[in-house]
Amino acid sequence: MKATPLLGWYRALAIATGVALLVFCGFIVAKYAFDTGAEITTYVAMLHGYLYLGYFVVTFLLGQKLKWPLGRMIFTLAAGCIPFASFVAERAVVRDAAALVPAEQAPETAGV
């Protein structure tokens, strides 16, 4: 059971942003170390930027809903622009959100 639909959006955007950032880092290395792929690097950077904007908004809304402290909010927001950090943050957020979800209650019996 999900704590909120934002958690699903957060997971998808955290993974997509992390992958886009790693691809972008690869293109940066290719651009500056091997002098190739300069034009495509711009498009990959824009893709990561648009994904990060979505990640930022969804993470902020999720943090507000789950009442995160300011330090946690800042780390989780910054994780989208630090290589591999979005994957680590995603696992931590999902683990903590699962702990906040109350156990499923047994259905009420009618007419007893």
Q: How many angstroms separate the CA atoms of 66 and 59, rounded?
A: 10
pLDDT of residue 104: 47
User: What is the model's pTM?
Assistant: 0.82
Q: For the residues 51-80, what does the mean pLDDT come to?
A: 93
Lowest average pLDDT, out of 9-13, 75-79, 96-100, goes to: 96-100
pLDDT band at residue 86 using 50, 70 and 90 as cut-offs: very high
d(CA 112, CA 26): 65
**What is the average per-residue pLDDT within 39-62?**
95
pLDDT bin (cut points 50, 70, 90) of residue 99 is confident
